[in-house]
Structure 1
């Protein structure tokens, strides 16, 4: 498997899972568009489109850093055009940008819901639509969104239904686009971690760094994404996958390598995944 010469457009790639996928592809010599909002490093979060671009170049890839708010339809279209002009096309779109708030209907500010909907569900449609003309020209095009399987148990709606709706919207678009874009030969999938991943979202929004002993590194998601976007002729498509699932299909059996810390603590299962 290799992504050499392929062009990846990754939203939200200035840190976390998006950055890890970018660096994995860079080792093959891929062209990578880092499309994210962060141009100045946050004192706590770290990472900008420029710092990741430098890392990509050092890893052997070719980088294009574009400051982008995925809520801005015109800006998304312009970014896709710039990427295609710079690298001669777009082969892979990875919808990684996300917004999270685990409040319920009673307490959630509607403006916050609008933000989650626009960054999660709407951006998948906007980015996929803007990338489509270029993906049609690719020999092996892919759209991969970071969203979960559709688990309709009441427990996943009871506490934070607004967030659940916006993430499930991404997954439903995945199912729909897989059918809609079949004639173009585009593989369309979604990927989600079985366990929590050690990212800034976990550290600063969902429980703190102490949870890292129960988390895996972003590398597991990068390896899973790599396997998906290297598949050919829609051999993997229309699926809402868990990282472990696709890696087991690829023959991976050692998952301890992905733990943040060697610990006796039980790994914490992620949202929307049954234990």
Structure 2
């Protein structure tokens, strides 16, 4: 049976930003698949709802939150380091809903330190979760988008590309910028293939957002909390991206605030401040460098390894 609602898979939906994205998508009329490695079932006496930025928040509690709001939801655990697990996620979603309209990849591993202080094991984990997990999820999504006549969206949580982002967290930046490169490259593929109803977009917070990561340093520090926004701004920006025309957002690398300001005409962001009346500090540059060159459309002689391989068979 094919769902009469559009279907969104949110990878990394157990807490914080991912949880809010899932809830906001449900409120907007999507059937939502909430997925994450966090698969612990809450105990019978656990308080509900849990702190949304704590380990007590899992895909199961998010599932319950959405159901109690009247939404349609499926919770599926996934290990984004394992392509087989990602394949199972898409199979479970397809078996339940029979379609896919939106993929949001919010899963991420983080370690901010110098190269000397980043063990290879930690580096490898970040590449597996951030880059390889995204790539595997994209590949599993493509047959479903094809089944839907190539009408769909992909949202990737990765940043605009600029040099300062590499400072002090090079190993992490290598993966996150790699995700943004995938956004640019897949957008070019879809444009070349005339898939005019497909779009892939990357989004990043302009100011820090309350999450499990920021809560560790700001929980009991009012001044630090004044620099935080709620996750609602991120979810609202994603919903606005999904409503935008595909050609406007395909291949776009943007921040939540900048997109809402430019595309939605928003000028007052005070409702998103974690501490009422505060003005969170912007952590991203006011302007980003363009990645295009004068020879942007000159591909020269394109090589396709698949065609070369086929010709040798």
Q: TM-score, normalised by structure 1?
A: 0.91
Which of 99, 115, 121 is residue 89 of structure 1 equivalent to?
Answer: 99
Aligned-residue CA RMSD (Å): 1.8
Q: Distance in 1 between matches of 2:148 and 2:187?
A: 16
Residue 203 of structure 2 is aligned to residue 188 of structure 1? no
1:233 positional shift? 4.1
1:115-164, Cα deviation, whole Å (9 max, x unpaired): 111111111111011111102233630011011000124xx323111111
CA contact (8 A) 1:136 1:186 kept: no
Q: Distance in 1 between matches of 2:228 and 2:21?
A: 18
The Cα shift of 1:54 comes to 1.1
Tell me which residue corresponds to 1:106: 116
Q: Please report how far the alpha carbon of residue 30 of structure 1 lies from its aligned counterpart in structure 2 after TM superposition.
A: 1.3
- Structure 2 Cα separation of the partners of residues 230 and 60 of structure 1: 22
Unaligned runs of 5+ in 2: 43-49, 287-313
Over residues 13-70 of structure 1, what are the superposed CA-to-partner deviations in whole Å (9 max), with x where a residue is unaligned?
0111111111111113311011101122699433111110111122232111001011
SS for the counterpart of 1:254 is coil
* Residue pair 1:120, 1:170 contacting (<8 A) in 2 also: yes
Q: Does 2:79 match 1:66?
A: no
Q: What do residues 57-99 of structure 1 show as CA deviations (whole Å, max 9, x unaligned)? A: 2223211100101111011112112101211111110010111
Larger Rg computed on CA atoms:
2
Q: 1:165 aligns with which of 154, 158, 174?
A: 174
Secondary structure, aligned partner of 2:90? helix
* 1:158/1:231 CA distance change after superposition, 3 Å: closer
Task: Give, in whole Å, the separation in 1 of the partners of 2:250 and 2:125.
Answer: 29
**Equivalent residue number for residue 281 of structure 2:** 268
Q: Is 1:251 the counterpart of 2:261 in the alignment?
A: no
Partner of 2:8: 8
**Count of residue pairs brought into register by the alignment:** 265
Q: 1:188 Cα deviation (Å)?
A: 0.6
Normalized against structure 2, the TM-score is what? 0.80
Q: Which residue is equivalent to 2:306?
A: none
* 2-structure distance, mates of 1:110, 1:217: 33
Query: Structure 1 CA distance, aligned partners of 2:157 and 2:239?
Result: 13
2:239 aligned to 219, 226, 238, which one?
Answer: 226
Match of 1:200 among 186, 208, 212: 212
The answer to whether the 8 Å contact 1:28/1:60 transfers is no
Out of 152, 160, 163, the residue aligned to residue 152 of structure 1 is 163
Structure 2 contact 270–277 (Cα < 8 Å) conserved: no
Tell me by how many angstroms 1:263 deviates.
4.3
2:63 and 2:137 map into 1 onto residues whose CA distance is 21
What is the rounded CA distance, in whole Å, between the counterparts of 1:108 and 1:269 in structure 2?
Answer: 27
